[in-house]
Each structure stands twice: as C-alpha cells, then as structure tokens.
Structure 1
Amino acid sequence: MDISTPESVHLGPLLVVAPAITVSFGGAWLTGLVGALAVAAQVSIAVFHGGLSTPNHIAQIIGLAFLSIMAVIVRLVRDRRSSELVQVRSVSETAQRALLRPLPRRLGPLHISSTYLAAAKEASIGGDLYAVARTGNRTRVLIGDVRGKGLAAVGEAAALMGAFQEAAYQHATLPALASALDHSACRYLTQFPGADDEVQEHFITALLLEIPDDDFVARLTHCGHPSPLLISRGQVTSVPSPPAPPLGMCALEQGIRTSHTFSFEPGDTLLLFTDGLVEARDASGAFYPLEGRLAQWAKCSPEALIEWLQRDLLTYTGGALRDDAAVLVIRRAGLVHDGRRYGELVGSDGRQVADHDHR
C-alpha cells in the first residue's frame, strides 16, 4: 500500500504494529521473524520511494529494527518469568499434596469430600488445614486456620497436622486431644525468635470432630473456629458449641475444654469450613450467604455439593478471594435410627460436665 501511494503519504511506520502484536501471543522466534519481515518491508519501501540513503527512511528502518529487537527481549523476559511461575506452581502443588494429602472418599460409614481454594492465584497453599484420623470404630476430623499468611503459616499448619495425626490415637476424648494440640502448638510457636508479644500474635482456630460408627451422633470441640453447618432433612442449621480460645494462645489460661454431642443420623451432612468462605464478599462488599445457599444443594452428594459451592462462591466474588478457604463435607450413610439426640458436655479429664437436650 505504501509503494502504491504517493511519496507524501508514509504508511511504513505502521509496520511496527506487526512485532508489537506478535509479542502478545507468539514466542521469541516468531516475534523476531515478524520483526525481520517488517524491517525487510521497510527496506523495500525505501528502495521504491527515494532510495535507502534518504534520512527519513534510514531513521524509520533503524527505529523499526530497534523496536523489533525490544519486542524480542520483552518476549524472552516474559517466557522466562512464565517458566519460573510454572516451577513455583509445581512446587506449591507438590507441597500442598504433601501437606494436605487427598482425603479418602469413604471412611467407615462416612462419605467425605474436600477442597482448598487459595486466595493467591500463583500458589495453591496457605495456612488453612484439614486432616482425618481413623481410630478404631470412630473417625476424628480436624479443620483449622492459622493466623497470618506465607511460609510461617504453612509451617504452623504442618506442625499442627503432624501433632494431630499422632495425638488422635492417644487420647480418649476430644477435649483431651484439643489440650494436647494446644500444648503442641505452644511448643512450636515459642520456637519463633523474638519477645513473648510476638508469640501471642500467633494462634490457630480449629474444630475437632468425632463421629462414632455405632451411634448416630457426632461430638464437637470448638477452639475459636466458625461453627459447622448441619444439613438434616433438608434443613440447614448451625451446630452450637461452647466457645473456647484458639490453639496456641500460650499466655491465656485455657481452663477445661468441653465437647458438645449432637445428632448426626444417616443421610445427614456436615459442612466444615474456614472463615475464608463466610468472609468472602461480592462487588458491593456483602458477605457470602453460605447458610442460605446450602439449602438448594441439600440433596447433592458431597462431591457435587463441593463442586456447586465452589462454582457459586467464585461467581459471587467475581473469581477473586481475599483469604484462603478450606471446605470439608461429611455425610453419614447407613440405616435409619430412632432419632435420639444427645447434648452432654465432656471435660478434658473425660468426665461429663452437663447433660441436656435429650429427646
């Protein structure tokens, strides 16, 4: 077009668009090839319009060659950073698989499904955690959230899960298990350098759950964590539990931890989650209405419920989470029970503290 137009019309400078566009989708070699073709085209224009010795054409050729070289350099830098990001993600995914090993889909009479949603797109690991342990004829579950982010939070999460996998088989009651985990967390946190005030800023909210095979109940010990939701007969309710400080609050007097027993019958589903789920916001700043959304998926399998919940959450937040979120869905399978409800409080010494809500 430039050759066929009068010499007063200069379309040659538009050739710079070619390498500029190519760098967005092509590799370094393709960008360099397109840049070389653009320079060759500019040389052809110069030959037909005034010759190569024209100062204007010389400036255009040099400028186009320089910009093409810069486009290739930009592409090389992007390729190197992309390669580094792939390696980081690979290491992150490997670390997550080692830290948060995939849970079995079936443990005794329980169907289990889980997911971990990381707030950082570049990584898939953080301070949220979950673990299960099969002890005899019962299943014990831990879900927790480490205060803070980064490698320090990952280290604290790993330490707590390691302690849980060991202590879950050594303590008869959940309060005793919670106390053991609290001592373990305090021992780990005191290894951080600095004054006591720094240690006090680290803690872990957690829930401990115990589900026996031979009784249609579940026991819960609360350690400053959001209460789980129970889906029973199509109704979604929050499971109440006595409040208690988080794990690792070394400077506080913990007192006697308790457990709450509630009905968990065949067909019932428990949803355990970290605060990243309920504190997710939409564009207007409104929190995610978890309890209201769950009712429409009450009859879904645990895997389907996780899938619908994850899809709905990302749609609600526009695909951007402010905090990591871990979710566990547990459903009991089996025969219909007579529907007895229990509500005793068991102390860390194994003795019953109170008994209420019998039906």
Structure 2
Amino acid sequence: MRQDPVLVSPLLLILLLFVLGVLTPPDVTIDRLLPVAPALAAALWPVVPTLLLGLACLLGVALYAVATSDPSLWFTAGAISAVTAAAAYASHLRLQREATLTEVRTVADTTQNVLLRPIPRRVGPLEIATLYQTPTPHARIGGDFYALADTRHGIRLVIGDVRGKGLPALVVAAALLGSFREAAYEATDLTQLAKRLEATLLRGDATALAQGDPAELFATAVLVEIPRHGSHATIFSCGHPPPLLARHGNIDTLDTDDPAPPLNLGSLLTTPCHPQRFAFRAGDHLLLYTDGVTETRDATGAFFPLATWAQEQLTTAPRQVLNNLHHALLKHSGNNLNDDIAAIAIRKTA
C-alpha cells in the first residue's frame, strides 16, 4: 500500500460514508452506498480481503439495525451480502486473468531475449547501448531487429527493419537474426555476410516466412564491421537509413557510394555492391537506427530532425544518448509513437 495508495481506497470510502452519515440528517440514507465498498475492493484486492471487508460492512449494518430497530437497514444488509458475493467472484476472475497476462508477458519477454539478445555494454574498445520500442504498450517485439557478433574478423553488427508488421514481420526478423548469428563468424567480409542474409529470404520456404506473396518479402539492413585495432570501420547498407558519425561536434551521414537494395531484392542488381570504409577513431560516436526514428512525425506532419538533434546530443555516453533520443521522440510525437523503433549507439574509447 506504500507503493500504491489507491489500494486503501475501499477503506477510505467506508470512512467517508461514516462521516457523511454522522453529518447528514437521519432521513438521508447514506448507508445504502455501503455496497460500493466491496465492489471497489474487487478491482483492487484479493478474494479473502474483499470478503472480509464485505462481512465487516454487513456486520456493522446488522448491529446498527438491531440497535435502532430500523427495518430499512435490512435491505441494505441484503444488498451488501449480494454485492460482496459478486465482488468476491469478480476478484477471483480478475486474479486469474492477471496470472494469465503475467504468463503471456513472461513468454513475450523470453522470446524477445532469445531474438534480441542483450548486447553487452562493453565489447573490446566499444561502449554500446541499445534502444527498442514498439508502438503497442504491451508488445515486446516487432519487425525491427539488431544483433552483435564478436568475431575474428572484428566486431560485427546488424540493424534492420522487416517490411510489414505483426507476426509475419517477427518471423522474418527471427530468420534473419538466426542467419546473421551463424554467418557473422564465417563470412570473410560484409559482402558475403549480406549474401548469406539474402539467401535466407530466397529459400524455398520464403512463402511460409512471408505468410503471403514472397515478392513482398524484404527487409532493409545495415552491416557494420569494427576491427578491435585500427582506426577504420566498414559499412554495408542494404536499402537502410544511413548511420550517423559524430566526431568533434561534427555530424557525418554515412551514405554509401554503392548501396545495395533491400534484402531479397538483390536480383535487381546488374553489378555487385561493395562495402565502404570510413574513419572511426577513439572518441568517435556512431548511431545506427531504423526508419521509425526518422519517420516519427509531430502534429504538423514534420519528421523528427535526427541530424539536427544529433549535432547537440551525440556527444555523451551511449546509454544517455539513447535515453535522450527516446525522450526527444516522445516529445516530438506528442507521446504518439506509431512505429517500431530500434537504435544502437556506439562510442569508441581506444
């Protein structure tokens, strides 16, 4: 009750009715409102306390009826008995539903931890933080995805966004994450890694993944490889929004000169695409994100100005960067985020 004072409201209601009963004239039957107390308790308390509260109200009314010889009070006592019985049953049903909801949310949390495995805060020379937000308050997972693999080739990351929403998008995201976690350790470069992800969506079970037309099955993604030593990193974009690089207060948009199409649309290429190297030195910040960030709109329909925001904010620790980003997105949208949002903030320390 210290954590949630609302839990004492049934008792406060009884106290209020008692005070009103003392202050009002005898012909004002405040006691007839007493059945409201156990009804309110059913929404807040377990079964036994709800029953005890109703019995206490019933006993008080019965004793008062005997003391005053007022036969009308017995009607109030009958109403309290009926409402208390119904309230106890309602409390029982509520507890059952809460237990079921808890189990469902536990399964959802476990599923998210399996799919979106927590990324360590520190990997080699990198400080890392992640952000994942779904538009549905009780949802835990969606079509955005990210992962990290610490391989002999370097620290490899992927962040992406599956076309569509709901279960089909989740199934595709799970398939791509499984493919990345296996291929990241074997592929010699990001081009080969991207081909492995592409192959995941080109297999014969693509129809099952898409739960519809395989031609509509695709995902955008960006792959990053950061060696443990050296001052350069590599990026390979598959139709994904470009990462932002912050260095000494300047923001660079890492638009690749040779971008690839989204995964599963590689057949549209006439020439192969190649990764692009960029300087990534100690003190530099890197922000990877999905289009849910840049496509967040305000009341006038204006998109969130990510580059402008990053100019001032992409200078602190990665966790603080993403906390500030989440707060800024909520403020910009008026607490109305309507798309999945994923982001990874990285700071190189050595």
Q: TM-score, normalised by structure 1?
A: 0.80
Match of 2:232 among 207, 210, 217: 217
Match of 1:266 among 271, 282, 295: 282
CA distance in 1, matches of 2:120, 2:37: 53
Residues 133/5 of structure 1: CA separation in 2 closer, same or farther (3 Å cut): closer
CA distance in 2, matches of 1:295, 1:220: 21
Is contact 2:244-2:254 (8 Å) kept? yes
Q: Which residue of 2 aligns with 1:87?
A: 103
Q: Which residue of 1 aligns with 2:155?
A: 139
Please list, as runs of the form range in 1=range in 2, the aligned pairs for 1:77-156 lying within 5 A after superposition: 77-156=93-172
More helix, by proportion: 2
- Secondary structure, aligned partner of 1:62: helix
Q: Which residue of 2 aligns with 1:35?
A: 54
Is contact 1:3-1:49 (8 Å) kept? no
- The amino acid that maps onto 2:61 is Q
Structure 2's unaligned 5+ residue stretches are 1-17
| Cα displacement (A) at 1:271 | 0.3
CA distance in 2, matches of 1:295, 1:221: 24
Residues 14/283 of structure 1: CA separation in 2 closer, same or farther (3 Å cut): farther
- The amino acid that maps onto 2:107 is V
Residue 346 of structure 2 corresponds to residue 330 of structure 1: yes
Residue 257 of structure 2 corresponds to residue 238 of structure 1: no
Residues 17/205 of structure 1: CA separation in 2 closer, same or farther (3 Å cut): same
Residue 63 of structure 2 corresponds to residue 44 of structure 1: yes
Q: Which residue of 1 aligns with 2:40?
A: 21
Q: Which residue of 2 aligns with 1:12?
A: 31
Q: Deviation per CA, 1:175-216, whole angstroms, max 9, x where unpaired?
A: 232122111122175241899x62222221111112234442
Q: TM-score, normalised by structure 2?
A: 0.82
CA distance in 2, matches of 1:315, 1:23: 37
CA distance in 2, matches of 1:5, 1:212: 80
CA distance in 2, matches of 1:283, 1:41: 56
Q: Which residue of 2 aligns with 1:204?
A: 219
| Cα displacement (A) at 1:81 | 1.7
CA distance in 2, matches of 1:198, 1:68: 55
- The amino acid that maps onto 1:295 is Q
Residues 157/29 of structure 1: CA separation in 2 closer, same or farther (3 Å cut): same
- The amino acid that maps onto 2:51 is G
Is contact 2:171-2:209 (8 Å) kept? no
| Cα displacement (A) at 1:48 | 4.2
Residues 290/5 of structure 1: CA separation in 2 closer, same or farther (3 Å cut): closer
Is contact 1:85-1:122 (8 Å) kept? no
CA distance in 2, matches of 1:95, 1:58: 55
Q: Which residue of 2 aligns with 1:229?
A: 244
Residue 267 of structure 2 corresponds to residue 248 of structure 1: no
CA distance in 2, matches of 1:257, 1:206: 14
Q: Kindly tell me the number of residue pairs found equivalent between the two proteins.
A: 329
CA distance in 2, matches of 1:246, 1:262: 22
| Cα displacement (A) at 1:85 | 1.7
- The amino acid that maps onto 2:93 is V
Residues 25/19 of structure 1: CA separation in 2 closer, same or farther (3 Å cut): same
Structure 1's unaligned 5+ residue stretches are 335-359
Q: Deviation per CA, 1:248-284, whole angstroms, max 9, x where unpaired?
A: 348x534423323222222111100112222334456
Residues 137/253 of structure 1: CA separation in 2 closer, same or farther (3 Å cut): closer
Residue 326 of structure 2 corresponds to residue 307 of structure 1: no
CA distance in 2, matches of 1:193, 1:269: 35
CA distance in 1, matches of 2:164, 2:269: 22
Is contact 1:3-1:45 (8 Å) kept? no
| Cα displacement (A) at 1:120 | 2.7
Is contact 1:12-1:45 (8 Å) kept? no
CA distance in 2, matches of 1:317, 1:76: 39
CA distance in 2, matches of 1:194, 1:88: 24
Residues 60/123 of structure 1: CA separation in 2 closer, same or farther (3 Å cut): same
- The amino acid that maps onto 1:94 is T
Q: Deviation per CA, 1:6-28, whole angstroms, max 9, x where unpaired?
A: 65332211212322333343222
CA distance in 1, matches of 2:193, 2:147: 14
Residues 43/318 of structure 1: CA separation in 2 closer, same or farther (3 Å cut): farther
CA distance in 1, matches of 2:196, 2:66: 85
Q: Which residue of 2 aligns with 1:60?
A: 76
Residues 188/67 of structure 1: CA separation in 2 closer, same or farther (3 Å cut): farther
Q: Which residue of 2 aligns with 1:192?
A: 208
CA distance in 1, matches of 2:299, 2:53: 42
